[in-house]
C-alpha cells in the first residue's frame, strides 16, 4: 500500500447521479482488479470521514490512469469531486482490499446492487483485456433503468464475450428489453443459473443488501467457501 498524489484528468457521467473520475498517478503502482483505494481531500487529518472516502477502482489495472466511480450526493466529499478541474492534485492511498479474482477461477458470478457495480467493471475489464477463459454471470439490481451505470459497457461485453447479464429493476417496470421487474432472490438465481455450486460468487453493495443476497445465494446452492462479499457504506 502506498500514499501518493494523482492529477485529475476527466469526469465521465454514467447516470444522472453517478459519475466516474479519472486520475493520473504521480508514480507507478499496481493493484488487482476488485481492490479499492482512499481518496483523501484532507490528508492532514486521516480520520476525517467527511473528506476522505474509500472508493473501488472502476478500471482495470495497467492503464495510464486510475478511475473511481461514485453516486454523487450533497456531501462535502461529493462537492469536492464535482469541483475538480483538470490538473488538480489529490492524495490517494492504495491499493486496499482482498476481494479479487483468484487463479483458476473460470466460473464466476456477481450479485450486485447500485454502486456495487464498480469493482465488477474493474474485474470484467481486466478479464477481457487479458483474454482470460472465464464464464461470468452478473445479477445487477437497480431502482430503474435510468439508474443502470455502465450499461453500454456491460451490453458490449455481453454481446462479444462469455458474459450473461440479468438486469433487475425494483421500482418500476422496465421500458426496454432485457430487464426484469422485481428483486433478486434465491428463486431468480436458480431460474437463471443451475451451476451455483461450481461458481465463485462475489456480492457487492450496501450492507443490508449484501446480507440479504448472501442468504439468497446460499439458498440457491452456492458453497459458503466460494462466496466473497464487500459492503459499500457511505458511497
What CATH number is attached to the domain comprising 196? Answer: 3.40.50.80
Pair (223, 186) in one structural domain: yes
The residue out of 96, 115, 144 marking a domain boundary is 96
Total length of the chain = 235
Question: pLDDT at residue 235 above 60?
Answer: no
Pair (55, 137) in one structural domain: no
What is the pLDDT, as a whole number, of residue 176?
76
CA dihedral 120, 22, 37, 184 (to 10 degrees): -30
Round to whole Å and give the CA distance between 139 and 188.
9
Share the mean pLDDT of the chain: 94
Domain that includes residue 156, residue range: 107-231
Q: What is the mean pLDDT of residues 24-44?
A: 95
Helix ranges (DSSP H) in the chain = 76-82, 117-129, 151-160, 186-192, 207-220
CB atoms within 10 A of CB 43: 17
Round to whole Å and give the CA distance between 60 and 127.
9
Q: Provide the grid cell at 116.
A: 456495487
Pair (119, 213) in one structural domain: yes
What one-character-per-residue DSSP string does 140-203 give? EEESSGGG-TTHHHHHHHHHHSSEEEEEEESSS--SSTTEEES---HHHHHHH-S-GGGSEEEE
What is the pLDDT, as a whole number, of residue 179?
94
Pair (91, 115) in one structural domain: no
101 belongs to a structural domain? no
- Provide the domain count of the chain: 2
> Is the separation of the CB atoms in 181 and 173 below 8 Å?
yes
Helices 151-160 and 117-129 cross at an angle (nearest 10°) of 40
| pLDDT bracket for residue 233 (50, 70, 90) | low
Pair (123, 205) in one structural domain: yes
What CATH number is attached to the domain comprising 19? Answer: 2.40.30.10
pTM value? 0.94
| pLDDT bracket for residue 62 (50, 70, 90) | very high
Condensed to tens digits (0 to 9), the pLDDT of residues 75-118 reads 999 999 999 999 999 999 999 999 998 888 899 999 999 999 99
65 belongs to a structural domain? yes
Pair (167, 187) in one structural domain: yes
Round to whole Å and give the CA distance between 179 and 145.
8
The residue out of 37, 61, 96 marking a domain boundary is 96
Q: Provide the grid cell at 36.
A: 479499492
Pair (71, 49) in one structural domain: yes
Pair (27, 82) in one structural domain: yes
Minimum mean pLDDT range among 23-27, 165-169, 204-208: 204-208
Question: pLDDT at residue 67 above 90?
Answer: yes
Query: In 3-state terms, what secondary structure has residue 214?
Result: helix
Q: What is the mean pLDDT of residues 206-227?
A: 95
120 belongs to a structural domain? yes
Q: Provide the grid cell at 154.
A: 456491460
Query: In 3-state terms, what secondary structure has residue 226?
Result: helix
Helix ranges (DSSP H) in 56-182 = 76-82, 117-129, 151-160
Round to whole Å and give the CA distance between 168 and 175.
12
> Is the separation of the CB atoms in 72 and 174 below 8 Å?
no
The residue out of 50, 70, 96 marking a domain boundary is 96
Query: In 3-state terms, what secondary structure has residue 94?
Result: strand
> Is the separation of the CB atoms in 141 and 114 below 8 Å?
yes
Amino acid at each position: 500500500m502506498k500514499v501518493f498524489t494523482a492529477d485529475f484528468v476527466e469526469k465521465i457521467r454514467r447516470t444522472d447521479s453517478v459519475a466516474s473520475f479519472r486520475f493520473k498517478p504521480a508514480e507507478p503502482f499496481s493493484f488487482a482488479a476488485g481492490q479499492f483505494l482512499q481518496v483523501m481531500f484532507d490528508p492532514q487529518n486521516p480520520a476525517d470521514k467527511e473528506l476522505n472516502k474509500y472508493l473501488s477502482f472502476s478500471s482495470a489495472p495497467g492503464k495510464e490512469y486510475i478511475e473511481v466511480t461514485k453516486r454523487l450526493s450533497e456531501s462535502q466529499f461529493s462537492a469536492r469531486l464535482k469541483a475538480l478541474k483538470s490538473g488538480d492534485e489529490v492524495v490517494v492511498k492504495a491499493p486496499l482490499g482482498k476481494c479479487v479474482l483468484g487463479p483458476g477461477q473460470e466460473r464466476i458470478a456477481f450479485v450486485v446492487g447500485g454502486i456495487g457495480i464498480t469493482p465488477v467493471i474493474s474485474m470484467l475489464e481486466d478479464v477481457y483485456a487479458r483474454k482470460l477463459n472465464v464464464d461470468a454471470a452478473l445479477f445487477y439490481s437497480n431502482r430503474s433503468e435510468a439508474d443502470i451505470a455502465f450499461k453500454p459497457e456491460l451490453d458490449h461485453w455481453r454481446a462479444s464475450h462469455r458474459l450473461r447479464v440479468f438486469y433487475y429493476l425494483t421500482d418500476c417496470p422496465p421500458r426496454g428489453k432485457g430487464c426484469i421487474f422485481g428483486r433478486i432472490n434465491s428463486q431468480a438465481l436458480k431460474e437463471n443459473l443451475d451451476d451455483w455450486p461450481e461458481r465463485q460468487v462475489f456480492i457487492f453493495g450496501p450492507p443490508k443488501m449484501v446480507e440479504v443476497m448472501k442468504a439468497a445465494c446460499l439458498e440457491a446452492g452456492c458453497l459458503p467457501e466460494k462466496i466473497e462479499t464487500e459492503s459499500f457504506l457511505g458511497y
